[in-house]
A and B are shown apart, each in its own frame.
Chain A
């Protein structure tokens, strides 16, 4: 159950989750989506966002409003002019006087022309404002997602990001595109015609006034119900998108393990959930719209009868009654437009709630307000001072999961450090702290004596770069992907980087060389080739501190040998942290750290650690020596 939903939805929401959980398994992350306040806060939050988006367009909006008022006025004078024509023009024509009727006709025709020109102006203006707002929102949300830390993304997941930035923005686009101009003219119609009705005949208008509370009641009922339905709709459609994206990205596994049928069942279920949420919203609308029509029908009948009596009593002219009934239709027709608009608005508000939630999320790894500049050139000394790291508690009863209890580590500038240890010993966490994917729970990580938290993102990323075994290649050419390390690099620099790492050979053999499209996620290349490209990328970036987390695992022996040789030169003048199961990488290290349960249990030069063991001088052979021995045996 996401806490962003009104308490009234608990039942259905829980059922929904329950049905999903059968196959999805359990994860504590389900419990919180984002902020944890109730419905009123949500509305205030999304209204605030809407206000912010509208503010820069104050003048445009004012102009648009004036335009649409004028347009509506022009359009609305037609029935009035017709009534003049009937009441005054026709008697005049009977006497051979055509001036009035000609003026009336010219008036109607002229207002049509001016009205349509002004509407053209209005539509383009309103369209531009709407699209500018949308663009601004796209930018903000995208930027915010990029700003939020890895920990956020691990919880939020890419499918949800995609859903927010595509589907939720579509809902807003629908509102802006199709309905905004309809809203203004419909609203104006209702207000102006309401006033006109009141002026035309106050007595009859009392009848209309009596109907209004019924309309408001209808509206309140619909607002409450549809909001819930639309929130549910946004969440269920996100689930559909998540499943869709995941299937597409794992299509190889899906097909080779014949998961198609099971997937189809799961997808149908999610799809049906979404359809149910939609159905709820459409049903609500199905009652809302005829409700309005019924109120209008009652009002019209009443006006006919009572107006008729007034005409009989000669207190009302027939022309006025005709006009009144014409206007009355015009008073209730736009109400239907308003209802349609209101539906888009409800749907968009639900989307806006989600988006404003993302925008209000504070990055847990924030950029400093006043960044400190590191001393130039960055030398690359790294110090972990009393660092403690624990994952936040997932719920109150759970103990915090401590990964690093208390780490004190000094890596002098230029040193190459190898980190070894079993899975779960905390090696990757240490690496992630070093490049500030996370912040330590206590203590500090410092680069050249500056706390990482005081560095601007730009300075930090320029100095510290991590290469992992999951090297993501982006759409584009091989050269583009290497240039990712340094966007302004020339072709020569790109090639030099590839040569240095030993990737030049294979790239040259590709059909279009460096210009070869790597295809989706680098599918054109083998895992080893992707890893080489990632290395070249890091080399080109030329950071003071380089972190390699299992970065050579997919390389075959000759490639690894090349990389190894390259690393000797590359790492000569920079600080490096290497995590590797294959100890061949470790051999180039100046220093080896063995980790166990978040603590460093051995620390020394590799030769020294092995030598201790071989001499058998001390206690049992060191852990590193044992690992080293096992590795050697695996080689042949």
Chain B
């Protein structure tokens, strides 16, 4: 910043020097006819010109690195912060709004630091130095120049407020448009298979048209500011000519000085004219920063504990009177849930669609926090464990197997970079995912959206392998076998059983085959006061006999009846 100020001051002085030099040439050698002096002054002019170039170069080069540094740091910070923000935040924010912050808004800030800020500094220095110089040369004419600056700044100031609102509206709308773009890209299969191109185009188009309207409004405001600003310097020039001529005629001012004055004043024209877009750029950067800080200022709802405790034990998992309601909803989804899993025990969670089984599993690695009661691992509340420690103890496989655009290996080890080859192989074996070795580049093959497209079953098996990698002490599996064919399912079950033998496991199950992985079954159902709670516990066969609800949830109904008939025959 000091370098910049210094450099800016230098360039302005040089800029001022040239007209002064001109006037001294006119008043000096030209009047006296001194050729040698003219050569000397000519050399000075040349030196000034070159020095100006060198100063601009220095300014540009020092600026480039610092500006890009700002951009890079902002992006890194935003990305890191978003990674830290809880799943609840991500559920409620459209990612288009986040993408537009990361791109358009950060670019606006870069533009400000890269172009506008230098000019603001240069202009301010120019205004000050030239203004003072003008007053020194001629107080009356200088006074006119300064005086006319005041109403202009007042009007501009008023308009800028309007402009600020315009810009904010445009930036928000850009986020809306980006959201539509993202959805249309991610949902392309659904859109295509239903032939809803026209519908989505219409939706997008409406937003794009609004964006255009808002941008035109912004342009109109800016044009008005600009027109006002541009009229000013020439009006003042007219007055200077008039009064200057009078002063020269009265002999109060020499002709050379008037010429120099006008030339100097010309130096102010560009700074005045450019102040329009400079202020525009600053406002844009300002609102952009505002939008970015709206995100950066959000505190993650899931925080590292201030005081941590180390659990000692083999992995006892206890849900103690656990209740949960989604933020903004007063109706609890889960209520009064008490489940205790002994070390090494595997419990299946069974319950009707949408009763909150998945949410219950998400509470263990603290993707959400319980709103009531607590979850204990070996007697320690999960909220008292360091997050990284908690999440390395508890490994999950979700119903939606997310694969990143990275190699198979990278997808498997994710947060466990220390995993060795043997562990990777074992995980692949347990999940029956040996197909990975047969991919074109083996485990180095890129999968995910930007790589090989895998079938649903293959993705699910990789997600499962990821969960069992390194034999975590606690496994949370959400309907882990749904997309597998019967044959593979059987094999995975067998292998999983060996893993689950000495691992505490929580398994959401929709089918008898999955339930059989567990030692015990917990049935979730509606609680009396609303929400979901535990309605029954027991072994699979026990529950089948005693609980009608359970039978309804897990038996194939008519098919089972048929099966029974066949057995009788």
B166-217 contacts to A, CB under 8 A, are 174, 177-179, 181-197, 199-201, 204-205, 208-209, 211-212, 215-216
A18 at the interface (CB under 8 A from B): no
A371 at the interface (CB under 8 A from B): no
Residues on B with C-beta less than 8 A from A39 are: none
Indicate if the CB atoms of A26 and B76 lie closer than 8 Å: no
Residues on A with C-beta less than 8 A from B560 are: 635-636
Count A-side interface residues using an 8 Å CB cutoff: 190
Indicate if the CB atoms of B53 and A23 lie closer than 8 Å: no
Indicate if the CB atoms of B43 and A301 lie closer than 8 Å: yes
Residues on B with C-beta less than 8 A from A131 are: 212, 215-216, 219
CA distance A279 to B69 in the complex (A): 10
Indicate if the CB atoms of A29 and B238 lie closer than 8 Å: no
Indicate if the CB atoms of B45 and A304 lie closer than 8 Å: yes
A137-153 contacts to B, CB under 8 A, are 138-139, 142-143, 145-147, 149-150, 153
Indicate if the CB atoms of B415 and A251 lie closer than 8 Å: no
CA distance A553 to B400 in the complex (A): 12
B495 at the interface (CB under 8 A from A): no
Indicate if the CB atoms of B456 and A470 lie closer than 8 Å: yes
CA distance A47 to B190 in the complex (A): 35
The 3 closest A-B pairs by CB, nearest first: A297-B49, A461-B195, A25-B407
Count B-side interface residues using an 8 Å CB cutoff: 197
CA distance A107 to B242 in the complex (A): 11
Stretch at the interface among A255-263, A354-362, A407-415, A490-498: A255-263
Stretch at the interface among B303-311, B315-323, B507-515: B507-515
B520 at the interface (CB under 8 A from A): no
Residues on A with C-beta less than 8 A from B227 are: 116-117, 119-120, 123
Shortest distance from the beta carbon of A359 to any chain B beta carbon, whole Å: 15
9 A-B pairs with C-beta separation under 8 A: A25-B451, A29-B451, A124-B219, A153-B185, A162-B185, A247-B82, A263-B83, A487-B196, A528-B353
CB-nearest residue of chain A relative to B540?
A636
CA distance A475 to B207 in the complex (A): 14
CB-nearest residue of chain B relative to A285?
B60
Indicate if the CB atoms of B245 and A93 lie closer than 8 Å: yes
B75 at the interface (CB under 8 A from A): yes
Indicate if the CB atoms of B184 and A108 lie closer than 8 Å: no
Determine which of B93, B415, B513 lies in contact with A257 in the assembled complex, contact meaning CB atoms within 8 Å.
Answer: B415
Determine which of A259, A268, A423 lies in contact with B76 in the assembled complex, contact meaning CB atoms within 8 Å.
Answer: A268
Residues on A with C-beta less than 8 A from B52 are: 290, 293-294, 297
Indicate if the CB atoms of B192 and A437 lie closer than 8 Å: yes
Shortest distance from the beta carbon of A530 to any chain B beta carbon, whole Å: 9
A214 at the interface (CB under 8 A from B): no
CA distance A541 to B190 in the complex (A): 13
- Known contacts A82-B241, A135-B208; is A246 also within 8 Å of B449 by CB? yes
CA distance A632 to B440 in the complex (A): 36
CA distance A519 to B185 in the complex (A): 17
Q: A24-B410, A279-B64 are in contact. List 8 more A-B contacts (CB 8 A).
A: A86-B255, A93-B249, A113-B231, A166-B178, A245-B182, A268-B76, A557-B552, A635-B513
Shortest distance from the beta carbon of A429 to any chain B beta carbon, whole Å: 11
Indicate if the CB atoms of A286 and B241 lie closer than 8 Å: no
Q: Mark A440-464, 1 if CB is under 8 A from B, else 0.
A: 0000000000000000011011100
Shortest distance from the beta carbon of B156 to any chain A beta carbon, whole Å: 14
CA distance A389 to B201 in the complex (A): 31
CA distance A267 to B243 in the complex (A): 63
CA distance A130 to B114 in the complex (A): 24
Indicate if the CB atoms of A253 and B248 lie closer than 8 Å: no
A435 at the interface (CB under 8 A from B): yes
A378 at the interface (CB under 8 A from B): no
Indicate if the CB atoms of A290 and B90 lie closer than 8 Å: no
Shortest distance from the beta carbon of A288 to any chain B beta carbon, whole Å: 9
Indicate if the CB atoms of A312 and B30 lie closer than 8 Å: yes
SS class, residues of chain A in contact with chain B: helix
B336 at the interface (CB under 8 A from A): no
Indicate if the CB atoms of B91 and A519 lie closer than 8 Å: yes
Residues on B with C-beta less than 8 A from A304 are: 21-22, 25, 41-42, 45
- Known contacts A301-B42, A581-B486; is A282 also within 8 Å of B114 by CB? yes
Determine which of A24, A272, A506, A584 lies in contact with B559 in the assembled complex, contact meaning CB atoms within 8 Å.
Answer: A584
Indicate if the CB atoms of B255 and A422 lie closer than 8 Å: no
B402 at the interface (CB under 8 A from A): yes
A223 at the interface (CB under 8 A from B): no
Residues on A with C-beta less than 8 A from B406 are: 23-25
Indicate if the CB atoms of B441 and A26 lie closer than 8 Å: yes
A271-308 contacts to B, CB under 8 A, are 271-272, 274-275, 278-279, 282-283, 285-287, 289-291, 293-294, 296-298, 300-302, 304-305, 308
Residues on B with C-beta less than 8 A from A177 are: 215, 219
Residues on A with C-beta less than 8 A from B484 are: 581
A89 at the interface (CB under 8 A from B): yes
Indicate if the CB atoms of A246 and B404 lie closer than 8 Å: yes
Shortest distance from the beta carbon of B372 to any chain A beta carbon, whole Å: 19
Q: Mark B13-53, 1 if CB is under 8 A from A, else 0.
A: 00000100110011001100101001101110110111011
Indicate if the CB atoms of A308 and B25 lie closer than 8 Å: yes
Indicate if the CB atoms of B33 and A312 lie closer than 8 Å: yes
B286 at the interface (CB under 8 A from A): no
Indicate if the CB atoms of B87 and A252 lie closer than 8 Å: yes
Q: Mark B388-416, 1 if CB is under 8 A from A, else 0.
A: 10011011101110101111111000111
Indicate if the CB atoms of B103 and A166 lie closer than 8 Å: yes
CB-nearest residue of chain A relative to B183?
A474
CB-nearest residue of chain B relative to A308?
B38
Residues on B with C-beta less than 8 A from A550 are: 456, 483
A127 at the interface (CB under 8 A from B): yes
Q: Mark B236-280, 1 if CB is under 8 A from A, else 0.
A: 011101100110110000010011001100100010000001000
CA distance A262 to B83 in the complex (A): 11
Indicate if the CB atoms of B258 and A134 lie closer than 8 Å: no
Stretch at the interface among A7-15, A197-205, A321-329, A589-597: A321-329
- Known contacts A146-B191, A519-B91; is A162 also within 8 Å of B22 by CB? no
- Known contacts A253-B402, A527-B399; is A558 also within 8 Å of B353 by CB? yes
Indicate if the CB atoms of A472 and B184 lie closer than 8 Å: no
A605 at the interface (CB under 8 A from B): no
Determine which of B30, B87, B195, B555 lies in contact with A311 in the assembled complex, contact meaning CB atoms within 8 Å.
Answer: B30
B457 at the interface (CB under 8 A from A): yes
Determine which of A23, A254, A423 lies in contact with B485 in the assembled complex, contact meaning CB atoms within 8 Å.
Answer: A423
Shortest distance from the beta carbon of A427 to any chain B beta carbon, whole Å: 9
CA distance A535 to B550 in the complex (A): 25
CA distance A83 to B331 in the complex (A): 81
A469 at the interface (CB under 8 A from B): yes
Residues on A with C-beta less than 8 A from B511 are: 556-557, 634
Residues on A with C-beta less than 8 A from B559 are: 584, 587, 635
Residues on B with C-beta less than 8 A from A285 are: 60
Stretch at the interface among A48-56, A59-67, A236-244, A379-387: A236-244
